[in-house]
Structure 1
Amino acid sequence: MSETIITVTASTDTHHSPERATVQLALGFEGPERQPVFEKTRQLHAETSESLRALHDPIADAVTRWSADQVSVWGQRPWSQDGAQLPPVYHATTTVRARFRDFSALATWIDSVAFRDGVTVTSVEWTLTSATHSALQAEAQKTAIVSARSKAQSYAEALGLSNLRPIAVADPGMLGDVGGAGSTMSVARFASHDLAKSGEGEPLDLTPADVVISASIEARFAATA
């Protein structure tokens, strides 16, 4: 009995509210003298680190992980509009990253540091825990396989075939004859977020979008009448 080979692709998305938020700050100053610039940056770095240390303890544990391990100090001589070289300007910067599980504590902490001189909030990344991510990824993969079988069944019925037998399932591009973008079965895309000050004296209003977990697969089936 001859068989008709049907090869399909399928993908699915699943959404979940963020469980962690990683905020990154750049701390730094500039000025005409190296030592005062460095000292101001060092003091700000120490105060910011201490505020995170207070949130990272066995009882509260609002912060699950934090680091403050990058520092840069340099000088440069800018040029004026007339082409004259001006006196040197010195810069000092450090980077602080903290991962929060408590988003209310995150909003309160950002309110306390973001408007200080020398502080720049460079990013907030919204993520899931590893356990949640793995579970959602596995579920998305299963859903994609079910979708692939349904698509192949539709093709088979359109050809007047009724029996469908799975032959192979693979990551995109692995079957060799279907163009796939990417080599992994599931890719996590972290959606954008809103970071807005809700009003004078009011706490920061953090409104993260859902984290989107995507799974894409290729599948091959044999169909017979």
Structure 2
Amino acid sequence: MALTIRVHETATKHCPAERADLQLRIEAEGADKHAVAERVRAVLRLITDQLADLERNGAVGRWSNEQMTTWSERPYGHDGERLTLTHRTSADVQARFADFGQLGHAVEQWCEIDEVRLEHVQWELTTATRNEASKALRAQAVRSADEHAHQYARAAGKQAVEAVSIADSESSAGGYEPRMEAMAAVVGGHSAELRFAPRRIAVSIAIDVEFQAH
């Protein structure tokens, strides 16, 4: 009588990130609506000009910026009184870096600007790398499942083992984490060049294999 053996296997590989998606927020506030907007406009122009140069040099694969947004509000003071009308203007900038050295250098420069805030750096793999890693992991998982199935079969007194079905269970080809990891070198008590340590990204697959043992 045939024995059905079902095996669940997982496999994981950690790959160094190949690109970093950066997001910046440029924001200013003040009593003069036009002056506030001009401050943001000037910083936005500076950063996008530098990103265009980085793109031409191959350090940045692509970049974009959203239109400036301006709004006004009249905040309340500690005693509940309405304060002077405040105007705020903001704009977001996104860029995909392939050169992590240039990423650290650029962020160091931009974060010296009062109106600039670093939102996040998200480490990623290219699609080709994710697919290649997943392909190797599936083969690894199938071999492991076959080995385990033979162990179960021998324990049950069976000799011949044949796989009859294989299905993906859970897969994660990327495992992106939107946290920023940066390391600032310190020389003589002063921060030197900001260096970004790329995160190692886990690519995981899971499969379910059914065997018939005789």
Asked if the contact 2:16/2:201 (under 8 Å) is kept, the reply is: yes
1:48-68 CA distance string (max 9 Å, x none): 1001011111xx211111111
The letter for the 2-side match of 1:127 is: E
Counterpart position of 1:154: 151
> Aligned equivalents of 1:104 and 1:197: distance in 2?
12
Structure 2 residue matching 1:23: 3-state secondary structure: strand
For structure 2, list consecutive stretches of 5 or more residues without a partner in the other structure.
Answer: none
Give percent identity, aligned residues only. Answer: 28
Counterpart position of 1:76: 73
- Taking structure 2 as the reference length, what is the TM-score of the superposition? 0.91
| Superposed counterparts of 1:5-84, under 5 Å | 5-57=4-56, 60-84=57-81
> Aligned match of 2:168 in 166, 171, 186?
171
> Aligned equivalents of 2:47 and 2:210: distance in 1?
55
Asked if the contact 2:131/2:173 (under 8 Å) is kept, the reply is: no
Task: Pick closer, same or farther for the CA change 1:131–1:43 going to 2, 3 Å.
Answer: same
Counterpart position of 1:187: 173
How much has 1:193 moved relative to structure 2? 5.2
How much has 1:94 moved relative to structure 2? 0.8
The letter for the 2-side match of 1:78 is: P
How much has 1:116 moved relative to structure 2? 0.9
Structure 1 residue matching 2:206: 3-state secondary structure: strand
Asked if the contact 1:186/1:213 (under 8 Å) is kept, the reply is: yes
> Aligned equivalents of 2:34 and 2:149: distance in 1?
70
- Taking structure 1 as the reference length, what is the TM-score of the superposition? 0.87
> Aligned equivalents of 1:156 and 1:78: distance in 2?
74
Instruction: Give the count of matched residue pairs.
Output: 210
| Superposed counterparts of 1:70-149, under 5 Å | 70-149=67-146
> Aligned equivalents of 2:3 and 2:138: distance in 1?
25
For structure 1, list consecutive stretches of 5 or more residues without a partner in the other structure.
Answer: 173-181
RMSD of equivalent CA atoms: 1.7
The letter for the 2-side match of 1:129 is: T
